[in-house]
Structure 1
Amino acid sequence: MQNLDLRPLSLGEILDRTFTLYKNNFVLFAGISMIPQLLVLAFQMIQVFFMKMPQMPVPPHAPPVISQWQATGEGLTGLLSGLWLGLLLGIVGAIIYIAALLLSNGATVLAVSELYLGRTITVSESLRRVRGSVLSLFVLALLTGLACVAGFILLIVPGFYIACRLAVSVPATVIEDLNATDAMSRSFDLTKDFAGRAFLIYLLYVVLLYSAMGLLQMPFIFGLFIARNDPNMLRFWTALMQIGGFAAGVLVTPVITIATSLFYYDLRVRKEAFDLQIMMGGADKPFPGSSGGVPSMLS
C-alpha cells in the first residue's frame, strides 16, 4: 500500500481506496474471508443433506388415508423431533458462524494494517496471528451488541449512533492489542464528530450485501418454490441457495472490514498525526491513551 499517501481523506477517497486495495489483493482478502466460512458452509450442507426436509401441508382434496396418517401421533412426534434437532443444529451453527466471522474480521484488519504499512502478509499468517485476539473480539462483539440493543430500545436512533461510534473498535482491538472495553472507549474517542461517515460506510455495506445475496440467491429461491413438493429437489435448490449466500458473504464481507480499517487509520492521521508517528518509526506502538470503560454515547 505504498502508493497511498498518509493524509486526511474524504469519505469518497476512503471508499475508493477500499475497493482499490480489495481489487489489488483480492486473493488475500477473499481467502481470509473464505477459509473460516467454509466451516459454516460445510455445516449448512450437513443440515441440508442429512436432516429430514419439511413436508408441505396436505391439500384439502388429499385422500383420507394420507390425511389420517399425517394426523397420527407418529407423524407429530417425528415433526417435533425434527424441530428440536433443527434448533440444536441452529445453535451450534450460530456459534460456528460467530467464531468464523470474528476470526475472518480480525485477520482482515491485520492484513489491511500490514499492507497499509508497506509490508506483505499471507492468508495463513493473518489467521494465525489473530488467533490470540479471538476471545477479546468475542467479548467486544457481545458488549457492542448489548450496547446497540440498549440504544435501539431508546427509540432506534441511539442504536444506530452507538454502532457508528463503535465502528473502529475491531481495528483498535487487533492493531493496538486492547481489551474489549478499552477498544470501545478508543473507538468512541476516534469517531467523535465522524459518526456520519461510519453510518455511510455501513449503509454501503448493507446495499452491497443484499444486492449480492439477491443476485446469487434469488434464482435458487424460485427453484425452491417450484420444487416445493419434491424433497430431493428441495435439497438440491436449498444447497445451491446456501452456496450462493456463502459466495455473497465471502465477496462482500471484506469490504466493510477494509473500509473500517482505513477509516481507523484516517482518524488517527487526523487526530494523532499518525503520519508523523510512521516517520518517527512509532507506528507499531499501541496508542497509550484510552482510559478504559465504556463512555457515554453523548461523549
Structure 2
Amino acid sequence: MESALADVELLLPERSLGDILNETFVIYGRHFAKFLGLAGAVQIPATLALSAPIENAAIYIILNLISLIALVSIFGATIYAVGQHYLTDSVMVVDCYRRLMWRLVSMAILAAIFAVITIMGLLLLSFVGVTLYSFAVATVLILGAYIVPALVGPVVIIEGVKTIAALPRAFELARQNVLRMIWDLLVFFLVAFGLGFVLFTPFILFFPSETDALSRTLVVVSLIAPAVVVPPVLSIAITLLYYDLRVRNEGFNIEKLSQEMGLAAV
C-alpha cells in the first residue's frame, strides 16, 4: 500500500489567495469546536478583564498587553493545530498549548514586536492626521512591517527555532514575495474584520436602552463572540500562506512537516 507521505502534491499543493481562504474555512469548519476551545481558553478571560470598569491607566495598559499576548498565544497554538490537521486529521488543544509553552519566550518577543509596529503605525497616523489617503498609506506600511513577524510565528512553532534565528529565516521566505504578502495580509484582515462585524452587529440591534445587568451582559457577550471566533481564521490563513511559500521555494511536504513538528503522519 502506498504511503500517504508519497502523495505530497495532493496534501500540500501550491495555493492562490482564493485557495488559501477556501482551505482556511475548510480546516476551521472541520475542527470548529476545537478551535473555539483553543481561542476561548485565553480570550474569554482576557475579554472579561478588559470589559470591566477600569479607571487606572496603568492597569488598562497592562490588560491590553495581556490581550495582545492572548492573541499571539492563539496564533501560536493555531499554527500547531493546522499541522496536526494535516498530519493526523485531528486537533489536540492541550498539545497545541504545550508546543506554545515550549517556545513561550520567543512568542512573547513576537508579541512585543507586533505591539511596537502597531504603536508606531498609530503614532504616525496621529502625527500626519487621519485622512483617507494617510489611513491607506499607514495601513500599507503597517502591513508591510507585519510581513516578517507574521512568518516568524510559524517558523518558531513549526521549525522550532528561537526568535533571533527566526527573523532572518522569515525574511528569507518573504524577500521575494513582499507585494503578494501585503495583499494577502490585507485580504486576511478584511475577512477577519468582516466576520467580526457580522458577529457583533446582531448584538447592537438588541441592545436595551437602559444601562442594566442585561445590557452589560449583552455588551460582554458581543465582545467575547468575535474575540473567540475570529482569531483562528486569521491564524489559519497566515499558516497556510507560510506553507505555500515553502512549497513554492523549498518543495515543502508532509514528510518535512512531520519531521519538524515531531509528529507522525497517520
Same fold (TM over 0.5): yes
Among 69, 74, 82, the residue aligned to 1:104: 74
1:36 aligns with 2:42: yes
Correspondence for 2:128: none
Correspondence for 1:267: 245
Question: Which 5+ residue runs of structure 2 have no aligned equivalent?
Answer: 126-136, 262-266
8 Å contact from structure 1 (residues 8, 269) kept in 2? yes
Q: CA distance change for structure 1 residues 34 and 142 in 2, over 3 Å: closer, same or farther?
A: same
Correspondence for 2:218: 240
Larger Rg over CA atoms: 1
Among 181, 187, 203, the residue aligned to 1:198: 181
Partner AA of 1:240 in structure 2: L
1:284 aligns with 2:256: no
Correspondence for 1:175: 158
Partner AA of 2:216 in structure 1: T
Correspondence for 1:209: 192
8 Å contact from structure 2 (residues 25, 233) kept in 1? yes
Q: Matched residues, percent identical?
A: 27
Partner AA of 1:98 in structure 2: L
Greater CA deviation, 203-212 or 100-109? 203-212
1:220-277 per-residue CA deviation (whole Å, 9 max, x = no partner) reads 45666833xxx4x2x53233122112111211111111111111111111111113x8
Give, in whole Å, the separation in 2 of the partners of 1:109 and 1:270.
19
8 Å contact from structure 1 (residues 139, 180) kept in 2? yes
Among 49, 62, 83, the residue aligned to 2:55: 83
8 Å contact from structure 2 (residues 109, 163) kept in 1? yes
Among 7, 18, 40, the residue aligned to 1:12: 18
Q: CA distance change for structure 1 residues 25 and 143 in 2, over 3 Å: closer, same or farther?
A: same
Higher relative contact order (CA 8 A, sep 6+): 2
8 Å contact from structure 2 (residues 99, 157) kept in 1? no
8 Å contact from structure 1 (residues 201, 256) kept in 2? no
**CA-atom RMSD, angstroms?**
3.1
Give, in whole Å, the separation in 2 of the partners of 1:25 and 1:210.
21
Give, in whole Å, the separation in 1 of the partners of 2:192 and 2:31.
20
1:183-210 per-residue CA deviation (whole Å, 9 max, x = no partner) reads 2222211122323333333333333333
How many residue pairs were aligned?
A: 242
Correspondence for 2:134: none
Give, in whole Å, the separation in 1 of the partners of 2:71 and 2:119.
20
Give, in whole Å, the separation in 1 of the partners of 2:145 and 2:179.
11
Give, in whole Å, the separation in 2 of the partners of 1:109 and 1:197.
21
1:95-134 mapped onto 2 (5 Å cutoff): 95-118=65-88, 120-134=90-104
Give, in whole Å, the separation in 1 of the partners of 2:142 and 2:50.
31
Give, in whole Å, the separation in 1 of the partners of 2:195 and 2:24.
18
8 Å contact from structure 1 (residues 213, 248) kept in 2? yes
Greater CA deviation, 174-183 or 15-24? 174-183
Correspondence for 1:252: 230
Give, in whole Å, the separation in 2 of the partners of 1:161 and 1:169.
14
Give, in whole Å, the separation in 1 of the partners of 2:192 and 2:186.
10
1:188 aligns with 2:171: yes
Q: CA distance change for structure 1 residues 219 and 170 in 2, over 3 Å: closer, same or farther?
A: same
1:1-35 per-residue CA deviation (whole Å, 9 max, x = no partner) reads 99952232222111111111111111121211111
Partner AA of 1:20 in structure 2: V
